[in-house]
Amino acid sequence: MKTFSIINKKGGVGKTTITVNLAYALAKSCDLRVLVIDNDDQGNDSQFFQSEEGLTLADILVGKAGIRDAVQHTRYDGIDLVASSSALLDANVAVIKDEDIVQHTILRESLAQVEEAYDVCLIDNPPTINASVINALVASDDVIIVTTPDIYGIRGVSQMVEYIEAIRKYNPYLRYRGCLINKFSSTPHGFRCLYMLEKVTPVFRTRIRYTKDKLEASAEERRSIYEYSPNCGFARDLVRFLEELLKGE
Ligand SMILES: Nc1ncnc2c1ncn2[C@@H]1O[C@H](COP(=O)(O)OP(=O)(O)OP(=O)(O)O)[C@@H](O)[C@H]1O
Ligand SMILES: [Mg+2]
């Protein structure tokens, strides 16, 4: 199993939209067995996959449940989910307070137990850095920063790269794959931001276009973009991104 963290402490850049649709593309087009970990107390991946009540990531982090008991099948063949809820907030605090556990390897040890059951694990992270995000990075092989092309986004990326470097103390094999630009528009401003970003970090060649209405509607209906509007800019760019990502393996 190969584990990817999708990350940025900046909110609303498209981490969840990219995670759920990437999961769909990996399962349906590449015929891979995918596990999605919803590592955000907002629970947006869980809402998208219409998760059932039951054990969640919070229970795994505080040692109340094993990962096998928390995994649920989704309506999509080939995509399983570890759901999240607001309990993840308390779990983050509990993990830090508990001096008896090694705080940053809980998720890595849990994922090791389902290593053979999946080909790919995608961890969608919240717009912050907390104990469960550190767990995600320690458990990951690769990390991808998603950002939007604007000045605050660019500043935040440099900081994220520093965090990733710091995590190498616990996970020396963590591979930073680069920064994926989402909500890109081919305007002078868009290209100026791209130029600035390329100065501070590796940037994926594929940029994901701004594709507002189609994404809102597909999320509202809880359908992947490939079911809702397979030819829209976002859907096509994400496939190109996936090809670029897999080529770099
Ligand atoms: N390429 C795009 N073009 C236009 N809108 C987009 C694009 N990607 C995502 N969005 C929209 O941006 C909003 C935020 O997306 P999303 O929830 O995926 O971001 P996020 O980074 O996961 O947010 P958070 O940090 O709160 O978890 C959503 O309304 C989504 O439909
Ligand atoms: Mg999100």
15-31 pLDDT, tens digit each: 999 999 999 999 999 99
Evaluate: CB of 181 within 6 angstroms of ligand 1.
Answer: no
Any ligand 1 atom below 6 A from CB of 241? no
Ligand 1 atom showing the smallest separation from residue 125 Cα: 27
For 171-187, the pLDDT digits (tens) are: 999 999 999 999 999 99
Q: Tell me what the mean pLDDT of segment 78-96 comes to.
A: 93
Rounded average pLDDT over 97-115: 88
Given CA atoms 148, 154, 18, 47 in this order, what sign does their dihedral have?
Answer: negative
Asked whether the predicted pLDDT for residue 141 surpasses 70, the reply is: yes
Q: Which residues are in the CB-under-5-Å shell of ion ligand 2? A: 15-16, 44
Give the pLDDT score at 101.
67
pTM for the whole thing? Answer: 0.97
Which of 215, 228, 237 has most ligand 1 atoms within 8 Å of its beta carbon, as the pocket-test mutant? 215
Phi and psi (nearest 5°) for 174?
A: -60, 125
Domain boundary assignment for the chain: 2-239
At residue 248, does pLDDT exceed 90?
no
Evaluate: CB of 40 within 6 angstroms of ligand 1: yes
Indicate if the pLDDT at residue 128 is higher than 70. yes
d(CA 38, CA 91): 14
Task: Calculate the alpha carbon distances from 128 to 11, 133, 156 in Å.
Answer: 8, 8, 11
Distance CA 4, CA 143 (A): 5
List all residues 6 or more positions away from 111 whose beta carbon is below 8 Å from its beta carbon. 1, 3, 67, 121, 139
Q: What is the pLDDT of residues 188-200, one digit of tens each?
A: 999 999 999 999 9
> Helix or strand or coil: residue 248?
coil
Angle value at C-alpha 203, between 200 and 207, nearest 5 degrees: 135
Q: Quote the Cα angle for 186-190-194, to 5°.
A: 115
Residue 73 dihedral angles phi and psi, to the nearest 5°: -75, 150
**Per-residue model confidence (pLDDT) at position 51:** 87
Whether the CB of 234 sits within 6 Å of ligand 1? yes
What local confidence, expressed as pLDDT, does residue 89 receive?
Answer: 94
pLDDT band at 36 (very low <50, low <70, confident <90, very high): very high
How far does residue 141's CA lie from ligand 1's centre (Å)? 24
User: Percent of the chain scored above 70 by pLDDT?
Assistant: 99
| 116 band by pLDDT with thresholds 50, 70 and 90 | very high
Phi/psi region, residue 32 (left: phi>0; alpha: psi -120 to 50; beta: rest), is beta
Task: Say if ligand 1 is within 6 A of residue 13 CB.
Answer: yes
Mutate to test the pocket of ligand 1, among 6, 17, 209 (most ligand atoms within 8 A of CB): 17
Q: What is the pLDDT of residue 213?
A: 86
Q: Is 49 in the pocket of ligand 1 (CB under 6 A)?
A: no
Nearest to 126 by CA among 207, 28, 5: 5
Q: What value does the mean pLDDT of the chain take?
A: 95
Given a cut of 80, whether residue 98 has pLDDT beyond it is no
**16 CA distance to ligand 1 middle (Å):** 7
| 217 in contact with ligand 1, CB cutoff 6 A | no
Using a pLDDT cut of 90, give the percent of the chain over it.
Answer: 89
Of 171, 65, 71, whose CA–CA distance to 121 is shortest?
A: 71
The type of residue at 7 is: I
The answer, yes or no, to whether any atom of ligand 1 lies below 6 A from the CB of 48, is no
State the Cα–Cα distance between residues 138 and 109, nearest whole angstrom.
Answer: 10
Domain 2-239: which topology?
Answer: Rossmann fold (3.40.50)
Ligand 1 atom index nearest CA of 126: 27
Is pLDDT above 80 for 56?
yes
Q: Comparing C-alpha atoms, which of 175, 167, 39 is closest to residue 107? A: 39
Q: What is the pLDDT of residue 45?
A: 97
Q: What is the pLDDT of residue 212?
A: 82
Q: Is the pLDDT of residue 164 over 80?
A: yes
pLDDT over 90 at 249, yes or no: no
